[in-house]
Chain A
């Protein structure tokens, strides 16, 4: 019995094109079989894409998704432009969801334990019978431990549990308990606040990494960029308060590096200063009155002046927002931080405007806290639990004190796991009932009150898995449980509930069926009645009153030796792996971490000054010791960490899960004490001081981008707000539009928003001028070896005079891109999107460490300054498609050449692999296939059939997604028209949450890219080499920028 994927089943739907085009050979090796459909699905045309709408379930945010399928295979995930959560964008995790679908380490079928690490395949019938037997025996002693069920699954689980005497517990490792607890205390509402970043000009984050993992990162990133990025002469402001900068912190304009455990003091100090200036403290007046700003300054380590500055900006603006704490800043006083944030928002008048308190269903009261989990473990250990059903959580990995968790699991006689992966917890189970991946499932999800999103299968299941909802129904039927539904499948149950609760008597003419179809097409429904905003409660509970009264003196304790070699240990969530559940996604392992740029491993972040003192360089193996033990991991010098603090990311160090996750790095949870915040029950992640010891051993760091210093080469540039404004005014259109752009327009029957609703600016096209100094320098450089430019240096200037020959004519478009560094948050979703779109090989840790990573687009992350003046610049770097590309003329075989439409082409089948082009590329964006990289079955099912798979010895690089250009041209041709602006969007630009990348034909002065590129902030990297690149970068507007009386020159 094979445990592999359903190859044969799959072939039935494969249709006519081969899976994954390859470069090897000319197809002479054996006859290829063509497998036609027996009965074709109506909407599938071989060779064209079919799109399905669904909802991402990789983290609890619930982004709307479009899934592109080809011949029945899902090949690409994109954001659903209609979704209020994803805005058509996805993060890297969402992009990598396909790797969850095709994960080669998925549990392929139900398995029953035979022995240690030994499993018997069983039929679904057998498996369900065994489960039913156990439930029958353990009535009243069974617990269903699930992740965050919302919507219909919650309803079903309730029925299932109630009818069979099962106790339910929903637990998310990132449960944000302090937020709920604090709102309960301050406002009397048990809710996670809904934050409106789009309307917040000033944001203070007290450790909430809202651009990475916090609540709804894609929504927040998209919205925050809208309000924060420079546009039309104004720009938002963001302050990061905390000892360690995660990706969100690196994006802040200002950093208040407070001592760990004192975030609430900073918040209260700011609140006090605002209140003193006339802010309305409301119910918190008493608390605020106690705050001693000078004392807070002393204890946080931040000057009163800084507080005063921040308070002035925060209050004066009127549209501000404070958020926090995040998972990493959950210390013993975390509830106080959340309360202080709530008070700060109240004082600044944000409640009801940028902060709304609604019951967010996904973090509803039913969600268990870490303390609840601890209690469950106790009961398990005491033998009170006869059967444990686990669907989602992985406590053995995500909870500290794993020996206790393991003992508790061992004490349960029967554990059934619905996990599709053999993770740490499910490997202790007795019965594995693998759930479908969400892309194979039916379901719904409530990402926020008022929005119910639909999950629909986009392809036939890859393995012999079964949806857990179906299993529940089936088991309930077997046991004749008194459930109140007629449905036999979860699909029926879902529709039943939608017909009853979500769209009762839906107003659409066709009744429910039409409404249902419409909902599937849109991807979600919005409830008509908005949730009633919560109001502050008149009275506060006693425990809260005590906390509120004492919080101004509260300070989170950190246990562990204090001393010279002892540091605050920060454990922070991973952008890539979330809480660790996504660690087996090869794309995410290979993705350089947005902060450290490490891949495939863990690292410990140490401030460079501290590192210097301890003579630690990047890659030195450091032993980190806490009261729970010692771990060895490579060091990385992170200037965004306080000198007395070290930080380790969560999510790695798996003992199970699969080949990509297994034994990579360390699980920082193992270093933590099982401490719960007494007020909220949250796991306290910031609790310990750790000692570090430099072993002096050095290993080549598995890192992309070893140098974080631009070395004065002005690659990622910045500009002051005044200069940016001035330059735009000079150009005669101060109101240069760069707003939320058009989404990619997936063809097919699904309706999408019409493009063209963006350009509200003045469509004046102005040639970007060359600064006189630049011109002079260019001429000077001519005498030092460079050719002075004598042709049109703008990106529109292709082809240059002298090359007009054959197809090279002015009539051709020039594809180009504009990248607004103001809008790039460094999240690297583009990189993963590019991997998914372009069949980029995954090279593995050894090769990454050598420097052979194949990413076509990388995010460079440069640091400048230090401490409070630290400035981080992110810069997406990919092939610049230079008009006078240095890589092209050096290729002896024309494998690199310039297409008539202005693309820098790389023809794989012509490439002989001299690698001269890579040497001659100043941007170093060409990557080489040092080996043939292969995708284990069934990961290869994901390969984009429109893109050649490269073999060893071939150079490759960004193509501007030429397959999409050709596709658009083909389609346009069918409709007898030219390609429209916005019709071609490369994968990177499509997914960018900040809309930093704009693509189009720059020769069309009305195209969006032409207008954006004409910005006064525009520049091109290494312009002095006269590459005439097609990518215009827009400078980041920074408070750290120098006023440019002296113009910058390369």
Chain B
């Protein structure tokens, strides 16, 4: 034991067994604060559920939606959650393909976030329907009516895109977790956990053969998930861009939305990981290096988004289209100026602080900035959706929208819904990837020393650069 070789990303973790111990310790009996938090979340969720119930029984008129602005907070929140979902897949799949070293400890939490965010997002298209009880008309299933849905509609593309995204991201999430659940299975004595993990680990034993196919399957899933992540938010953006609404009908929407999604998703990852790291004392796994890397990506995507804003204004001016021009002037100066300026400040100006490395490695600063980004990104969708509809072609039908208590309760409930799943996830499933973390730790070797490391460095070596 002459030299102890340390992982560059996780210098405070040295042994495989330690990873298992640390990670699986999260699955112990939660403390009181956990239950208090869960109770609060459930209360908010119940309020949201009640609001939805009222809306279903009485009619969608319970929302603040009106004739020109027939999409509002629901679709805003839908796009928001789809956006949040994106970073999870990005971190797990895209960074996996790019072999980014720093993803291992955070990707599980990010992936969980993806799945839960899509589960949350997926509710909103149903919530916002006038007749949610016939939502299944949107599904292409054979019925006695002999009629099929309209494949030309961007909303149907949404059904396909979001449905695929939910399926694939959930698969990716659950599949990637199989070895870890096996580890949890092996490490627990609690009967219900044992049962659950046995089922969810599909009898995983960690044989070399299983690993061989698993690695490949994981790689191909990652390869499929990467274009999927781009397509989903493109399709969501086409809900708007395929229309002829001034302020919606623009070709830059797909890349602009994807950048925005990654931007907001990464911000959300930071927002979530900061408290988890603190509460569960996972400082050894979520190091400043991780935050620095994520903050850089937030900065880059933030600048793409801000550039897209400016491009929109330029194109509106350049188009010489009266309605197009006026909608953008109106956004800045009209009745919803505050929303627009919240969006510009939170997404365009505040993230500029991340140019400073000091800010990037300061956890409290990052936490604050990412919360602003989350707010800003919600308002970005609000601005796009509401201002465009409130100020369309026909001046006679210009009218402003104001969310009702039902909408606010449902939107708050959606956060609770997401939080509920996340809280349950933290206590039930391994929140940090055990197997993959081991990959970035130095392999346990009989013969220690440089030579041994060099010989077996493969993917394990700590000596590699970033």
Direct chain A–B contact by Cβ atoms under 8 Å: yes
Interface residues of A (CB under 8 A from B): 705-707, 709-713, 715, 780-781, 784-785, 847, 850-853, 858, 860, 862, 877, 886, 889-894, 897, 910-916, 918-920, 922-924, 927-932, 951-955, 1022, 1025
- Contacts known (A710-B395, A784-B321); A931 close to B61, Cβ less than 8 A: yes
- Hey, which chain A residues are within 8 Å of B67, CB to CB? 851-853, 918, 924, 927-928
B interface majority secondary structure: loop
Option from A706, A712, A877, A912 in Cβ contact (under 8 Å) with B135: A912
Interface centre among A862, A924, A931 (most CB of B within 10 A): A924
A-binding segment of B153-161, B227-235, B364-372: B153-161
| A922–B138 touching, CB < 8 Å | no
- Hey, which chain B residues are within 8 Å of A707, CB to CB? 395-396, 398
Option from B60, B147, B156, B243 in Cβ contact (under 8 Å) with A952: B60
**Shortest beta-carbon distance, A781 to chain B, in Å?**
7
| B393–A713 touching, CB < 8 Å | yes
| B399–A711 touching, CB < 8 Å | no
| B149–A893 touching, CB < 8 Å | yes
| B70–A919 touching, CB < 8 Å | yes
- Hey, which chain B residues are within 8 Å of A918, CB to CB? 67-68, 70
What would be 12 A-B contacts, judged by CB atoms less than 8 Å apart?
A785-B249, A785-B251, A852-B67, A886-B244, A889-B152, A891-B153, A912-B132, A916-B71, A920-B244, A922-B394, A952-B130, A952-B131
**Shortest beta-carbon distance, B433 to chain A, in Å?**
38
8 Å CB contacts to A: which residues of B281-328?
A: 318-323, 326
| B154–A890 touching, CB < 8 Å | yes
User: From B136, which residue of chain A is reached at the shortest CB distance?
Assistant: A912
Option from A781, A850, A910, A953 in Cβ contact (under 8 Å) with B60: A953
| A929–B323 touching, CB < 8 Å | no
- Contacts known (A852-B66, A953-B59); A781 close to B321, Cβ less than 8 A: yes
| B130–A915 touching, CB < 8 Å | yes
Interface centre among B125, B154, B396, B398 (most CB of A within 10 A): B396
| B399–A706 touching, CB < 8 Å | yes
| B395–A709 touching, CB < 8 Å | yes
8 Å CB contacts to A: which residues of B384-419?
A: 389, 392-399
Whole-angstrom CA separation of A713 from B325 in the bound complex: 12
| A851–B68 touching, CB < 8 Å | yes
**Shortest beta-carbon distance, B26 to chain A, in Å?**
42
Decide yes or no whether B58 CB sits under 8 A from chain A: yes
| B154–A923 touching, CB < 8 Å | no
Option from B59, B152, B243, B250 in Cβ contact (under 8 Å) with A929: B59
| B244–A1025 touching, CB < 8 Å | yes
**Shortest beta-carbon distance, B65 to chain A, in Å?**
7
Interface centre among B61, B152, B159, B239 (most CB of A within 10 A): B61
- Hey, which chain A residues are within 8 Å of B323, CB to CB? 713
- Hey, which chain A residues are within 8 Å of B66, CB to CB? 850-852
**Shortest beta-carbon distance, B413 to chain A, in Å?**
20
- Hey, which chain B residues are within 8 Å of A715, CB to CB? 394-396
**Shortest beta-carbon distance, A1020 to chain B, in Å?**
13
**Shortest beta-carbon distance, A250 to chain B, in Å?**
16
8 Å CB contacts to A: which residues of B196-233?
A: none
- Hey, which chain A residues are within 8 Å of B392, CB to CB? 922, 924
Whole-angstrom CA separation of A707 from B68 in the bound complex: 13
**Shortest beta-carbon distance, A826 to chain B, in Å?**
13
Option from B68, B150, B318 in Cβ contact (under 8 Å) with A924: B68
Decide yes or no whether B129 CB sits under 8 A from chain A: yes
| B153–A953 touching, CB < 8 Å | no
| B395–A890 touching, CB < 8 Å | no
- Hey, which chain A residues are within 8 Å of B68, CB to CB? 851, 918, 924
Decide yes or no whether B355 CB sits under 8 A from chain A: no
A interface majority secondary structure: loop
- Hey, which chain A residues are within 8 Å of B64, CB to CB? 850
Decide yes or no whether B245 CB sits under 8 A from chain A: yes
Option from A890, A922, A932, A952 in Cβ contact (under 8 Å) with B242: A890
8 Å CB contacts to A: which residues of B42-88?
A: 58-61, 64-68, 70-71
Interface residues of B (CB under 8 A from A): 58-61, 64-68, 70-71, 125, 128-132, 134-135, 137-138, 147, 149-150, 152-156, 159, 239, 242-245, 249-251, 318-323, 326, 389, 392-399
Leading 3 A-B pairs by shortest Cβ distance: A913-B130, A953-B130, A930-B61
- Hey, which chain B residues are within 8 Å of A784, CB to CB? 318-321
- Contacts known (A706-B399, A711-B326, A711-B395); A922 close to B244, Cβ less than 8 A: yes
- Hey, which chain B residues are within 8 Å of A932, CB to CB? 59
- Hey, which chain B residues are within 8 Å of A711, CB to CB? 322, 326, 395
Option from A780, A781, A894, A916 in Cβ contact (under 8 Å) with B149: A894
| B244–A912 touching, CB < 8 Å | no
Whole-angstrom CA separation of A850 from B150 in the bound complex: 32
| A952–B150 touching, CB < 8 Å | no
Option from A892, A911, A924, A1022 in Cβ contact (under 8 Å) with B130: A911
Whole-angstrom CA separation of A849 from B70 in the bound complex: 15
Whole-angstrom CA separation of A706 from B132 in the bound complex: 31
**Shortest beta-carbon distance, A260 to chain B, in Å?**
31
- Contacts known (A785-B251, A912-B130); A893 close to B61, Cβ less than 8 A: no
Whole-angstrom CA separation of A308 from B245 in the bound complex: 50
| A877–B396 touching, CB < 8 Å | yes
Whole-angstrom CA separation of A858 from B318 in the bound complex: 34
Option from B59, B153, B321 in Cβ contact (under 8 Å) with A930: B59
- Hey, which chain B residues are within 8 Å of A886, CB to CB? 243-244
Whole-angstrom CA separation of A98 from B138 in the bound complex: 40
- Hey, which chain B residues are within 8 Å of A912, CB to CB? 129-132, 134-135, 137-138
**Shortest beta-carbon distance, B60 to chain A, in Å?**
6
User: From A781, which residue of chain B is reached at the shortest CB distance?
Assistant: B321
Interface centre among B64, B134, B239 (most CB of A within 10 A): B134
**Shortest beta-carbon distance, A174 to chain B, in Å?**
32
- Contacts known (A781-B321, A892-B149, A953-B60); A915 close to B395, Cβ less than 8 A: no
- Contacts known (A892-B159, A952-B59, A1022-B393); A915 close to B71, Cβ less than 8 A: yes
Whole-angstrom CA separation of A924 from B246 in the bound complex: 13
User: From B239, which residue of chain A is reached at the shortest CB distance?
Assistant: A916
**Shortest beta-carbon distance, A160 to chain B, in Å?**
53
- Hey, which chain A residues are within 8 Å of B326, CB to CB? 711
| B243–A890 touching, CB < 8 Å | yes
- Contacts known (A851-B68, A891-B150); A705 close to B59, Cβ less than 8 A: no
User: From B70, which residue of chain A is reached at the shortest CB distance?
Assistant: A915
Given contacts A715-B395, A851-B67, A890-B242, 10 further A-B pairs with CB under 8 A are A706-B399, A860-B396, A877-B394, A890-B243, A892-B159, A912-B132, A918-B67, A918-B70, A953-B130, A1025-B393
Whole-angstrom CA separation of A920 from B152 in the bound complex: 14
